[in-house]
Amino acid sequence: SSIGSVVDHPIAKSRKQHLTMTSALQELSPNSEIVHSQQALAVNCAAASGLSQVLSSNLGPKGTLKLLVGGTLTQLKLTKDGLTLLKEMQIQHPTAALIARTATAQDEVTGDGTTSTVLVVGALLEQAQRQVAEGLHPRVLTKGYDLARDACLEFLKDFAQPLPIMSEDPEISSNVKSLEMTNYLTQVATTTLGTKLDQELVPKMASAVVQAIQTIWTGPKEPLDLTRIEIMTLQQQQAHDSRFVQGLVLDHGNRHPDMPTELKDCFIMISNVSLEYEQAETQANFTYQTAEQREKLVESERTWLDERCRQIVNLKRQVCSGDNSHKSFVIINQKGVDPLSLDMFAKEGILCLRRAKRRNMDRLVLATGGQIVLSLSDLSPEILGHAGSVRVVSFEGSDDDAKYTFVEDCPAAQSCTLLLQGPNNLTIHQIQDAVKDGLRTVKNALEDKSVVPGAGAVELALHHHLMETVAKKTKGKHKVGIQAYANALLVIPKTLAANAGQDVQDTILSLQDEVQDGNVVGLDLDTGLPMSPADVGVWDNVRVKRQSLYLATVLANQLLLVDEVMRAGKQMGKGGPNPADPTAGME
């Protein structure tokens, strides 16, 4: 009877069922590898912890950099951006790869928060491992995590700080350029850029990012299109020479030595017409019997091209006469222009650029206010755009062909350029990654019309809310999951303190004391003392925090409910057997 009672015990039954399922799988696939129950949780937690440790030192303004080395020693990348690290690192562990894919999805949606998401996932699994080891079922824990997440998302609605009220009238778009809004947006950009760039470079780049967003702003009801902002990289001079350009920078210049290279108060003609000899679109043959006939064919085609050029020259003479005689004329053409046509334009003092990129044509229309000319039959002054200055610059030490054209000071620009410069590609790529995140951050703030205090203030407030309000109102075992969730959120301020060289325990205790007194505080990284993020101007995006909490909770719950990790040898995805055929691949 004693033997029978042992066999009938629930744990023994569960173990027996587990062994039966394992043996069945191994009979179907003898080469399969299986990790069970507690082992599976330990494997997943170890992977999450390892990935968190790699990224944790990069969090915050005091975070360190990572130097990524490719297949050859010349392939280098210097960064502290979480998205770049996760994309460039070779991650072989399946759980770590799953976490990395989820975190990169965070960046695709919001533009920031990649590192924070990885840290929160790791902390949630670490807290869960402790509770499961004490006998709490993962299903109970995941329910508590869901309750805590929902409470946090609801809390953020009231915790967010609204931006200064913007007009709902689309015609009144200057509010975003007001001094108060500019200060707010600059603080938002500074918070993001400060975690990725050298602190001396942050103020200048934050101002450039805000100017770029203000340029493409068309009203509170219109979505912001970041493709209107051209990010041009130039390996010249120093990083501090990077700047905002109210207009466009083209990576090519004039192709005629006699053309002007510096013009003021310019009419801009944006065209997509051919000004060179072209092959027929359909197969055609031209026959001639004598040299004179051939000359006539060439002359007729040349006459046709000259007439097209004269139409443009006549337009230039029309608009640059009388009171506008001091103004200049610039042609930016998407198609080719032959040397004789360039020579004709040069004699008229016209700057002509050929082979402009398609994406720049659309931006030129938005920057200068002109229209794309597709036919020369209906030329008129109304189709021309305007720019305060146009310069063709060839930087010292560069090749003759490495010219850049600056179309600047456009009075009603709705497109612009961020010119990023640096002595090497490492510096330029680092600035480029940071600027892209900064643009998304400011865009998010305008679309959310609110921000939340940074420097760990959100996580501290959420921890206090979960512990003092939500957990106390919750009955049963789910309370344990809520408390574990609250403790996991403290990984953000703890990591910020550790990266700043502060004592983690003393710092967290002093911050929690301030929160207990009802204050909204974050961490001063220089002193390790509590400070008010609103007074200092440290702001985070609402949607970044919401998305990070949501993704981290969903992924942690999924990993907690994994009771087996199986490597069965089957190729999943492309090239594998047809899943509709259960006998596929079986011999």
Half-sphere exposure of 224 (CA within 13 A, CB side): 22
pLDDT at residue 116 in the model = 92
Cβ distance 239 to 201 under 8 Å?
yes
Give the tokens for residue 381: 């002054």
pLDDT at residue 252 in the model = 85
pTM: 0.82
For residues 297 and 304, what is the distance between their CA atoms, to the nearest angstrom? Answer: 11
pLDDT at residue 399 in the model = 47
pLDDT at residue 359 in the model = 86
| Segments in the chain below pLDDT 70 | 1-38, 73, 165-174, 278-286, 288-289, 293-294, 296-298, 300, 396-401, 567-587
pLDDT at residue 193 in the model = 92
Residues contacting 321, CB < 8 A, separation 6+: none
pLDDT at residue 293 in the model = 63
For residues 195 and 430, what is the distance between their CA atoms, to the nearest angstrom? Answer: 12
pLDDT at residue 168 in the model = 55
Token pair 């325990």 is at which residue?
A: 505
Cβ distance 525 to 62 under 8 Å?
yes
Query: Got the DSSP string for 323-347?
Result: GGTT-EEEEEESS-B-HHHHHHHHH
For residues 385 and 327, what is the distance between their CA atoms, to the nearest angstrom? Answer: 13
| pLDDT digits 0-9 by tens, 111-123 | 888 899 999 999 9
| pLDDT digits 0-9 by tens, 413-451 | 899 999 999 888 888 988 998 999 999 999 999 988 899
Order of strands, edge to edge, in the sheet holding 243-245? 229-234, 416-421, 243-245
- SS3 call for 523: strand
CA-derived radius of gyration, the chain: 32
Residues contacting 184, CB < 8 A, separation 6+: 163, 164, 445, 451, 539
Beta bridge partners of 539: 453
Residues contacting 36, CB < 8 A, separation 6+: 18, 22, 563, 564
Other CB atoms within 10 Å distance of the CB of residue 571: 9
Token pair 């925090």 is at which residue?
A: 545
| pLDDT digits 0-9 by tens, 76-106 | 888 888 888 888 888 888 888 888 988 888 8
